[in-house]
């Protein structure tokens, strides 16, 4: 493409909302910037604009904030949002999976397998998150493939944990390669023992490892395909948040994960005639960083979301807020969601 052909991408989320092939949408960023609000809003817009498709929004954050955002309780099994026909939510506890896996070898306190599991999980950072993520994918795959499943999901949206977690979590193909290598090594070492130990379900462990291999392959193929997977970065117009977002984007690039949309949240858009000095000062700072972002991210969809007058909680408020993802807020317009 020549310079003449270049156009700044629309400052909205339309390309994602109208996309026909996306299966995985990750939403991530620093703590408290509005990841849960954004991922919920994106999901609502997807669901409203594509009534024939089914969407699943998953929180992998131990803080489990989807229930808070929607004001209704979600758990580890997907359940539809009250008032929506084609949007379900699910909250996963990342700590429970690794415990499940360890439980297989916990029956006999002194067996070498137990040591092996401890060895495995302590030698590879991020393995617990990676394993729990695998469990999520498996869960979804099972839901999609069994006949008894009522719903098969077209697109899955992830409300990820704050940045540090997200980055480790995206290394999972590499993490699993290490895990599997380690497992093979240890399995070789304990080869004779594995089959002969009473009370230990070695088959179940072997099956898990095989499953992990298959899923790692799936993730390697799908997560690096921009038609199938994309990552939406959420930030606020402040130095630290920008800095972390840039790091996140570079990291995503290094994994080959597509990222073309940044949501800048909680913007004041203070008008000149506003007498409040504090808002004026803050807005000026935000504008400075927005200007930098406009330059740095000219080939991204840069979506600017207003700070509204209330917490964005419950389907009604989220739906109103989500409209700004499609028709951007015009400075001076209402920031009431009631
Ligand atoms: N644009 C906005 N205007 C007003 N309130 C907002 C806006 N965006 C988010 N909030 C509120 O800010 C709080 C934090 O938002 P949210 O939970 O989406 O952040 P988060 O990035 O998911 O946080 P965490 O890292 O803790 O998971 C919530 O109470 C939410 O309602
Ligand atoms: Mg959150
Ligand atoms: Zn003010």
**Domain-wise residue ranges, the chain:** 3-95+127-174+219-325
Q: Are the CB atoms for 34 and 135 separated by under 8 Å?
A: no
Whose atoms come closest to the Cα of 282: which ligand?
Answer: 3
Q: How far is the CA of 32 from the centre of ligand 2 (A)?
A: 7
**Best residue for ligand 1 mutational test, from 27, 30, 31, 32 (most atoms within 8 Å of Cβ):** 32
CB contact set of 2 (below 8 Å; sequence gap of 6+): none
Whose atoms come closest to the Cα of 283: which ligand?
Answer: 3
Q: How far is the CA of 298 from the centre of ligand 2 (A)?
A: 27
pLDDT computed for residue 31 by the predictor: 87
> What are the CB-based long-range contacts (under 8 Å, 24+) for 250-257?
251/167, 251/170, 252/170, 255/170, 255/171, 255/223, 255/224, 256/223, 256/224, 257/26, 257/170, 257/223, 257/224, 257/229, 257/230, 257/231
Q: Are the CB atoms for 183 and 101 separated by under 8 Å?
A: no
pLDDT computed for residue 193 by the predictor: 58
pLDDT computed for residue 132 by the predictor: 66
Give the catalytic positions in this structure.
61
pLDDT computed for residue 106 by the predictor: 47
Positions in the chain short of pLDDT 70: 1-6, 94-135, 139, 141-151, 162-170, 172-173, 190-205, 208, 215
Pocket of ligand 1 (CB under 6 A): 31-37, 61, 63, 65, 162, 265-266, 305, 307-308, 311-313
Cα separation, 87 vs 101, in Å, equals 30
Q: Are the CB atoms for 166 and 212 separated by under 8 Å?
A: no
Q: How far is the CA of 159 from the centre of ligand 1 (A)?
A: 12
pLDDT computed for residue 178 by the predictor: 75
* Ion ligand 2, residues whose Cβ is below 5 A away: 35-36, 65
pLDDT computed for residue 163 by the predictor: 56
Q: What's 3-95+127-174+219-325's CATH class?
A: alpha beta
């Amino acid at each position: 493409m020549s310079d003449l052909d270049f156009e700044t991408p629309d400052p909205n989320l339309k390309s994602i909302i109208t996309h026909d092939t996306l299966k995985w949408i990750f939403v991530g960023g620093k703590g408290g910037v509005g990841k849960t609000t954004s991922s919920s809003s994106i999901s609502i817009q997807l669901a409203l604009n594509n009534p024939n498709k089914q969407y699943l929004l998953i929180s992998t954050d131990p803080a489990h904030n989807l229930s808070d955002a929607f004001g209704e309780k979600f758990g580890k099994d997907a359940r539809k949002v009250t008032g929506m026909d084609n949007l379900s939510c699910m909250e996963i506890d990342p700590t429970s999976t690794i415990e499940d896996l360890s439980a297989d070898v916990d029956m006999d306190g002194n067996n070498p397998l137990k040591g092996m599991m401890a060895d495995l999980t302590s030698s590879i950072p991020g393995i617990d998150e990676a394993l729990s993520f695998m469990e999520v994918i498996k869960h979804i795959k099972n839901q999609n493939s069994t006949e008894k499943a009522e719903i098969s999901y077209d697109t899955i949206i992830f409300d990820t944990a704050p940045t540090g977690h997200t980055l480790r979590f995206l290394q999972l193909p590499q993490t699993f390669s290490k895990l599997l290598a380690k497992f093979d090594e240890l399995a070789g070492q304990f080869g004779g023992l594995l089959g002969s130990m009473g009370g230990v379900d070695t088959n179940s462990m072997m099956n898990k490892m095989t499953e992990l291999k298959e899923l790692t392959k799936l993730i390697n193929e799908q997560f690096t395909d921009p038609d199938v997977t994309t990552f939406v970065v959420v930030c606020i117009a402040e130095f630290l948040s920008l800095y972390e977002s840039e790091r996140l984007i570079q990291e995503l690039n290094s994994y080959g994960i597509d990222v073309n949309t940044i949501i800048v949240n909680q913007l004041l858009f203070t008008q000149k005639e506003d007498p409040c000095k504090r808002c004026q000062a803050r807005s000026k700072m935000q504008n400075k960083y927005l200007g930098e972002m406009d330059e740095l991210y000219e080939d991204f969809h840069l979506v600017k979301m207003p700070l509204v007058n209330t917490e964005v909680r419950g389907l009604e408020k989220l739906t109103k807020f989500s409209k700004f993802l499609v028709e951007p807020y015009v400075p001076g317009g209402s920031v009431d969601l009631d």
